[in-house]
Structure 1
Amino acid sequence: MDLSKPRPVAAPPYSVAQTAPHQILVCKACKHQGQACAPGHALLKKLRAAIATAGLDEAFEVSGTACLAGCVTDHGKPCVVGWRATAKATWLFGDIDPNQPIDDLVEFARLYAAVEDGWMGGKDCPPRLCDNTLARIPAAMIVTREGTIQ
Structure 2
Amino acid sequence: MTHRITICTSCRHKGNTCRPGYELISRLRAAIADAGDAIAEDFEVSGVACMAGCDRPCTVAYHGSRKATYLFGDIDPEVDIADLVAFARQYAVLGDGWCSSVDRPGKLRTATLARVPAAIMAIEDSGVRAS
Normalising by structure 1, what TM-score?
0.72
- Aligned match of 1:127: 106
Question: Which amino acid in structure 1 is aligned with residue 55 of structure 2?
Answer: V
C-alpha distance in structure 1 between counterparts of 2:11 and 2:45, whole Å: 18
Secondary structure of 1:98's match?
coil
- 8 Å CA contact 1:91–1:136 kept in 2: the answer is yes
Sort the Cα spacing of 1:66 and 1:140 in 2 relative to 1 into closer, same or farther, 3 A.
same
Q: 1:139 and 2:118 equivalent?
A: yes
Q: 1:62 and 2:45 equivalent?
A: yes
Secondary structure of 2:25's match?
helix
User: Which structure carries more helix by proportion?
Assistant: 2
Task: Please list every run of 5 or more consecutive structure 2 residues that lacks an aligned counterpart in the other structure.
Answer: 124-131
Sort the Cα spacing of 1:32 and 1:100 in 2 relative to 1 into closer, same or farther, 3 A.
closer
Indicate the RMSD between aligned Cα atoms, in angstroms. 2.0
Secondary structure of 2:78's match?
coil
Q: CA deviation at 1:30?
A: 3.2
Normalising by structure 2, what TM-score?
0.82
Deviation per CA, 1:46-79: give whole Å up to 9, x if none: 0000111113210000001121111316xxxx21
Q: CA deviation at 1:31?
A: 6.9
- Residue identity over aligned pairs, in percent, reads 53
Task: Please list every run of 5 or more consecutive structure 1 residues that lacks an aligned counterpart in the other structure.
Answer: 1-19, 144-150
- Aligned match of 2:6: 25
| Pairing partner for 1:88 from 67, 76, 82 | 67
- 8 Å CA contact 2:11–2:20 kept in 1: the answer is no
- 8 Å CA contact 1:28–1:37 kept in 2: the answer is no
Sort the Cα spacing of 1:132 and 1:49 in 2 relative to 1 into closer, same or farther, 3 A.
same
C-alpha distance in structure 2 between counterparts of 1:92 and 1:101, whole Å: 14
Secondary structure of 1:49's match?
helix
